[in-house]
Amino acid sequence: MAVAGSAVGLGNFLRFPVQVARNGGGAFMIPYFVALLLVGIPLMWVEWTIGRYGGGFEHSTAPGAFHSMWQKNRFIKYFGVIGIFGPLVIMIYYTYIESWTLAYSWFSLTQRYGSALDQEAMQSFLRGFQGLEKNEFFSSMAPAYIFFLITFIVNISVLYKGIKGGIEKFCKVAMPLLLFFAVILAVRVLTLGAVDPSVPENNVINGLGYMWNPDLSLLREGRVWLAATGQIFFTLSVGIGSILTYASYLKKGDDVALSGLSAVSMNEFSEVILAGSIVIPATFVFFGAHAVGAIADSGAFNLAFVTMPLIFQEMPLSRFMGFLWFGLLFLAGVTSSVSLAQPAIAFLEDEFDITREKAVKIFAAVTFLLCNAVIFFLRFGVVDELDFWGGTFCLVLFAAVEVILFGWVFGIDRAWEEVHHGADMRIPRIYKYIIKYVTPAFLLIVLGVWFFQEWIPIIGMETVPAANRPYVFATRVALVALFGVLSIMVKIAWRKRKRGRVS
Amino acid sequence: MTLLGWVFMACSWFFILALSSFCFYKIFSKKKLD
C-alpha cells in the first residue's frame, strides 16, 4: 500500500498532463507506452528485487544494495548515491508544489479564486500566489509560505512515525478516496461538451483527440522519448530509489512480482484513464488547443492549477468539490513525498547507526534550507531545472545502472530466480530477455540520442532566458556539491563499517 | 479525433483495464508459486 501511495501522486494528476501538452499530445503517448512496457514494468520488478535482496544484507538504500550485488567492485556504491541524491532533489521542490494543492483546497473552500473567471485571471491568480508578481489577488508570498510550512510539518510528522505507523495508515484512507473522486470528475469532464457555443471545435472529443491522435513526425526527436521515459519513471517512482528502500523491509519469502505489477496497473489507471480524461480535455474545452501548450510551458506543474478551479465553477457544490479534490491531491502528494524522503533517512539510519528520530531531524533541517531556496528562486526557473536533473535525467541514469547490474553483473538466471522467490505470479519469460537486453539498450539509446541532440544547448543554457542563467548555473553548482557531499558520506560509512569488522 | 486516435485510446484503455483486472484477480485468489 505504501508503494502504491508513492506511485499515485502529483506525477499523475499534475505532471503527466503537462508532459503530454509540452511534447505534442498524441506524439507523446506512443513513446510513453513503449517506455511503460520495455522500461517501467521491468524496472519495477528489478527495483523491488534489488531492494529485497539488499535488505537481506541489512542495507535499505542503493549504495549498500548495489554493493551487496557486486561485492568485488569498490566503486559501484558511488553509483548508488544517485538513488539517494535523485529523490532528495525531487523532494526539495515536490514539497513546495504539494503545498499548492493544500492552498488551493483552502482557496476552494473560501472561494478565494472565485473572481477569476477565465484563463488569464486564473493564471494571474497562480502567479500571484507563487510570488511571481504582485496583483489584485496577492500582495506577498506570505500565504504560499504558510502553506509550505504546514505541508513541511505534516511530512516530517508522518516520517517521524515510520512506515507502518504513519505512511500505511495514511494511504489506506487517502488512496481509495482520491480514486473515487477522480472517477466523478472524469465523468463530469467527459460530459462537458462544448462550453463556449461560439467556438464549437473546443469540445471534449477534440480534447481527447489532442491527447490520442498519434503524430508520428515527432517520434524522431530524442527530447520526446526522454520526456516520456522520464514521466514513466517519475510516475511509477522507479529509477528514484524509494521503491528499493521500501522493498528492503520485505522478507525473503514475500512476493515482489505481483506487488510490482499491481502498483503499475493502479498507477496507470489513475494516470492515463483518470488524469488523461480530466485535465487535458478540460483545458482544451475551456481554452483551446493553443492554450494547452502555452499554460503547460509556463511551469512543469501549472496546468491543473489553472484548469481545475474553472471546472469546479461549472459544477454543483463547487466549493466542496474543489476543497475535496485538492485536499485529496494533497494527501496523495504526502504519500509520495514521504517515500522520496525514505532513502536519505534510511541511509542515515543504516550506515551511520543513528535512530530514526535523529535521522528525521537531520533530514528536516537540511531539506528545510534547500526548500527555502526553491521557494524564493522559483521565478528564475529553479524548479524546472531541478525537475529536469532530479526528475528526469538522474532517473534514467540510475535505472540504466541498476538494470545493467541486475541483468549482467548479478546474472540474469540468478536474478530471474530471485524475482520469483515467494512470487504470487509467474512473470512472462519474454521479460527475462527484455530485462537483459531491451531495457538497458532502450535506456542507453534514449540517453545517447538525447546527448547527441540536446547536450550542448542544455549545458550551454541556450534555452534559458539570460536573466535566469546565473540562478540556473548556481542550481547546477549546488546539485554537484550535494552529490559530492553524499559521495563523501558513503565513503565515510564504508570506512566505518570496515573498521567495525576489523575490530 | 481521428479514427486512429479512437483506436489508440481504446487499445490503451483496454490494456490498462485488463492489467488491473488481472492483478485484482491474482491478489484475491492468492496462491504462492513455491
User: ipTM of this model?
Assistant: 0.91
Q: What is the pLDDT of residue A149?
A: 97
Q: Which of A365, A389, A401, A103 is nearest to A234 (CA)?
A: A389
**How much is the pLDDT for A174?**
74
Residues A82 and A95 sit within 8 Å (Cβ to Cβ):
no
| Residues sharing a CB contact under 8 Å with residue A295, sequence separation 6 or more, in sequence order | A21, A119, A123, A283, A287, A302, A303, A306, A307
Collect the ranges in chain A with pLDDT lower than 70: 1-7, 163-167, 299-301, 501-503
The residue among B23, B26, B29 with the most chain A CBs within 10 A of its CB, best to mutate, is: B23
B29 Cβ under 8 Å from any chain A Cβ: no
At residue A369, the pLDDT reads 93
Instruction: Write the DSSP symbol of residue A428.
Output: P
Q: How many CB atoms lie within 10 A of CB A490?
A: 21
Q: Do A423 and B27 touch (CB under 8 A)?
A: no
Q: Is the pLDDT of residue B32 over 60?
A: no
Torsion region of A422: left, alpha or beta (phi above 0 gives left; psi -120 to 50 gives alpha) = left
Beta bridge partners of A194: A203
d(CA A34, CA A441): 13
How many Å lie between the alpha carbon of B31 and the closest alpha carbon of chain A? Answer: 6
* CB within 8 Å: A422 and B22: no
CB contact under 8 A, A209 and B27: no
- Tell me how far apart the alpha carbons of residues A175 and A324 are, in angstroms, rounded to a whole number: 13
pTM value is: 0.87
Q: Could you count the other beta carbons within 10 Å of the beta carbon of residue A278?
A: 25
Kindly report, residue by residue over A259-296, the tens digit of the pLDDT.
Answer: 999 999 989 998 999 988 888 888 888 888 877 877 77
Contact B8 A424 (CB under 8 A): no
Instruction: Please tell me which of the candidates A209, A420, A426 has its beta carbon nearest to residue B5.
Output: A209
> Is the distance from CB of A27 to CB of A224 less than 8 angstroms?
yes
A273:B27 CB<8 A: no
Q: Do A214 and B22 touch (CB under 8 A)?
A: no
Put simply, whether A268 touches B (Cβ < 8 Å) is yes
- What's the confidence (pLDDT) of residue A345? 93
Question: Residue A40 has which C-alpha cell?
Answer: 517501467
